[in-house]
């Protein structure tokens, strides 16, 4: 996964195109991420034994990582992430705009 929890991303496709947010959860198996304030759906819930509060619940749904791009924390631009293996064998992420390693 090139996008991780805690990253700031820009939505480039779909209903929330142009919106920015922080990744609150990533789902590597399905290549999806859940982004703060993005892809919010409203659910009408009835009070049950597990849900005490009846009414409309707003919930963020995961969206495909193909619909988001990372915002580089160094140059603050939406960027494609390049992978780069570093000396210790792990994989670093590289900003394609400013060539800096992202955390
Ligand atoms: Zn950058």
41-75, pLDDT tens digit by residue?
998 887 777 766 788 888 899 999 999 999 999 99
> How far does residue 11's CA lie from ligand 1's centre (Å)?
17
Global pTM value: 0.82
Q: Which CATH number fits domain 1-71: 1.10.40.30, 3.20.20.140, 2.30.30.30, 3.40.462.40?
A: 2.30.30.30
CA-nearest of 21, 14, 15, 13 to 37 is 21
Q: What is the mean pLDDT of residues 81-102?
A: 88
Ordered by start, the domain boundaries in the chain are: 1-71, 74-103
> How far does residue 89's CA lie from ligand 1's centre (Å)?
22
Any idea which residue has 């090139």 for tokens?
A: 2
pLDDT at res. 51: 66
pLDDT in tens, 13-49: 999 999 999 999 999 999 999 999 999 999 888 777 7
pLDDT at res. 16: 95
Judged by DSSP in three states, 59 sits in strand
């Amino acid at each position: 996964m090139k996008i991780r929890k805690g990253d700031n991303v820009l939505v480039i496709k779909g209903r929330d195109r142009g919106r920015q947010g922080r990744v609150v959860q990533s789902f590597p198996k399905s290549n999806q991420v859940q982004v703060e304030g993005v892809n919010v759906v409203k659910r009408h819930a009835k009070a049950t034994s597990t849900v005490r509060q009846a009414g409309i619940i707003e919930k963020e749904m995961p969206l495909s990582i193909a619909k988001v791009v990372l915002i580089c924390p160094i140059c603050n631009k939406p960027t494609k992430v390049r992978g780069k293996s570093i000396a210790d064998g792990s994989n670093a992420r590289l900003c394609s705009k400013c060539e800096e390693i992202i955390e």
